[in-house]
Amino acid sequence: MSKVIWGLTISFLLAITCSADDKILDFSALEALVKDLKGVSNLPSGTAIAIIKDDQIIYEGYFGYADIEKREEVSAETAFYIGSITKPMFALSTLMLEEKGKLQENTTLSEMFPELDLSQIDANHITTKDLLGHTSGLNYDAYTLATAYTGLHNKEIRHKLIETIQRNQKQEPGQFAYTNGGYNVLSVWYDDLFNQPWQDTLSETVFKPLGLKKTSAYISDADKNGYSLAKTYSFARADRSKLHEPIYLRKQDNTMHAAGGVITTAPELAHFVIAQVNAGQVDGKQVFPSHVIAKSQEQVAVANDTYSIPGTIGYAWGWAIGTYENETLYSHGGGFAGVRAHVSFMPDKKLGIVILNAEDVASSELTTAIKDVAYNILLDNGDIEDDVRKRKQHLLGHIKNLDQLYQDHYAQLAAREMVLTLKKSKYTGTYSHSLMGAVNIKLNEQRDFEVSFGNMKAIATAYRTPDALRVELNPGRGEGLGFHIEDNQVVGLNVWGFDFKKGISAE
């Protein structure tokens, strides 16, 4: 399902007012590419595309289903979780707050949290700008695990987790190293400073001025307000017959965080991009001051291709800066279990693209192909039909290879033998960490280990080493869970680098 916004009547009017270079753009080849890939992958998960030129959305494309089982088609009304595309929104919110005199870019961590013990880091020299530009030189692993995955946190715990932040030994202060942590730490300060959740502050400074109705940092708003939210799927499944089943790990309000915590629709996200390419103007209205938008696009860090987007040379306020076909390109991706999203724009050409996918594996290379083909159409760059034909051939082969790869991968995992030095019941029970919460392990009726950790859960399989389990708490991504044994008793475990102490046994 797609919609080309420039119809015959609008085209006629444009012909009167625009230059002879303007023309109706044909995105049919792009549509065919997306449809063919979804057919070959046998995974018709949702995809939404919006393409921007000047101050208009000139194309919208909707493919697949928001809910495969119910055959609910994706539309302009379907909201998607967008992951780290939250970052440029949160960064703009910060700049708007600075514009209103409510905070400063050079405020230090020690000034934000004077009551916390931050003696492990140089809190006097790490600023708001460092936290948003990924140049803080800090390690936020514990904080990220709690806020993005387990959901085991509250206001008190979030403050205590900030005290656990340490120097990143692989990053010098001032050096770029991409992380969620800086944005999340700032959100805690927001909560304190404005005496309300950061989500409400983001809405007041960005969403409401843009007039966005189906954009929220609370995922529960989809149900509360009765609009469709795309269910998430993944090509990375051990049981290939379950591709049409949504993956279990879904975002909840307690894992919607400032570095990755927004749901929105393709056209509403496109309005955010329109503000970027039109100096803060949307629909003829000055939504954001032009100088604030200009600042948001100023480079604050040198990335030197260390970011995940090829060709990246720097990072602005929530935007990766790179090039495409010799044009400056600002972009950001978003990912999570069952999610692959992309937004980008060329400020000099006033072009932009939004791509939202409710699938995380097969959609990865598809997203790159959509972006490239769309910009090639917009820039009138080369033979589009030939380009799409080559990309389609590559993508279809890639999908077939992925399918075989996952079949082989999970067959190898199934062939592993679990090596435990004690009887299974000895490993069951509750394992606790003072800040990270509890990991619970029990045996089900099939005598398989069931592991749960906050919002996360998995059936464990064999790991490579003795007295350890392999778990996919994050679907498609295996983690080793190692047990600590003393005097023939299980006394603790380690997962994601954190040690948990065993409590009462489940025997």
DSSP code string of 382-415: S-HHHHHHHHHHHHHHHHHHHHHHHHHHHHHHHH
Q: Which residue has the higher pLDDT, 271 or 309?
A: 271
pLDDT tens-digit readout, 341-365? 999 999 999 999 999 999 999 999 9
Judge contact between 470 and 410, C-beta under 8 A.
Answer: no
pLDDT in tens, 369-419: 999 999 999 999 989 999 999 999 999 999 999 999 999 999 999 999 999
Look up the pTM and report it: 0.93
Q: Can you tell me the mean pLDDT for 36-52?
A: 93
Average pLDDT over residues 477-498: 94
For tokens 């990309």, what's the residue? 391
How many residues appear in the chain?
Answer: 507
Strands (E), 307-453: 314-315, 320-324, 327-336, 339-346, 351-357, 429-433, 437-443, 449-453
pLDDT score of 137 more than 80: yes
pLDDT class of 174 with cuts at 50, 70, 90: confident
For residue 257, what are the CA distances in angstroms to 79, 91, 198, 205, 278? 17, 13, 9, 17, 28
Tokens at 125, concatenated: 């020299």
CA distances 4 to 55, 126, 391, 459, Å, are 15, 47, 23, 46
User: Is pLDDT of 261 > 60?
Assistant: yes
pLDDT for 9 equals: 29
User: What is the C-alpha separation between 296 and 88, in angstroms, rounded?
Assistant: 8
32 burial class (0-12, 13-18, 19+ CB within 10 angstroms)? middle
pLDDT of residue 6: 31
- 233 and 243 in contact (C-beta within 8 Å)? yes
**CA dihedral defined by 433, 434, 438, 439, rounded to 10 degrees?**
-10
Cα separation, 506 vs 441, in Å, equals 8
Return d(Cα 158, Cα 184) in angstroms, integer. 9
Q: How far apart are the first and last CA of the chain?
A: 55
Residue 105 pLDDT more than 50? Answer: yes
- Evaluate if residue 125 carries a pLDDT over 90: yes
pLDDT at 20: 35
What pLDDT was estimated at residue 171? Answer: 83
Angle 308-52-178 (CA atoms, 0-180°, nearest 5)? 20
By percentage, how much of the chain surpasses pLDDT 90? 86
Question: CA-to-CA distance for 213 and 225, rounded, in angstroms?
Answer: 10
pLDDT at residue 504, rounded to an integer: 53
Contacts of 419-427 with CB under 8 Å at 24 or more apart are 419/462, 419/465, 419/466, 419/467, 420/466, 420/467, 421/466, 421/467, 421/485, 422/467, 422/485, 422/488, 422/490, 424/449, 425/505, 425/506, 425/507, 426/489, 426/490, 426/505, 426/507, 427/483, 427/490
What's the token pair of residue 242? 């379950």
Q: Choose among 429, 455, 453: nearest CA to 442.
A: 429
- Percentage of residues in the chain having pLDDT higher than 70: 93
Instruction: Examine the pLDDT at 173 and tell me if it is beyond 70.
Output: yes
CB 337 within 8 A of CB 231: no
Residue 279's CB is within 10 A of a number of other CB atoms, namely 16
Please say if the pLDDT value at position 324 is more than 80.
yes
Kind of pairing, strands 80-81 and 72-73? Answer: unpaired
* Residue pair 504/430 in contact by the 8 Å Cβ criterion: yes
- Bridge partners of residue 208, in order along the sequence: none
Could you tell me the pLDDT band of residue 296, with boundaries at 50, 70 and 90?
very high
CB neighbourhood size of 213 (10 A): 13
Q: Is the pLDDT of residue 304 over 80?
A: no
In the predicted model, is pLDDT for residue 4 greater than 60?
Answer: no
Residues 217 and 219: their CA atoms lie apart, in Å, by 6
> Which structure tokens are listed for 233?
């799927």
Mean pLDDT computed over every residue of the chain: 92
* Weakest-pLDDT range from 272-276, 372-376, 453-457, 494-498: 494-498
Q: Which residues pair with 353 in a beta bridge?
A: 51, 344
Q: Give the DSSP per-residue string, 144-205.
A: HHIIIII----HHHHHHHHHT-EE-TTS-TTS----SHHHHHHHHHHHHHHTS-HHHHHIII
**Could you give the 3-state DSSP secondary structure of residue 469?**
strand
- Mean pLDDT, rounded, for 331-347: 96
Q: Per DSSP, what are the bridge partners of residue 482?
A: 468, 494
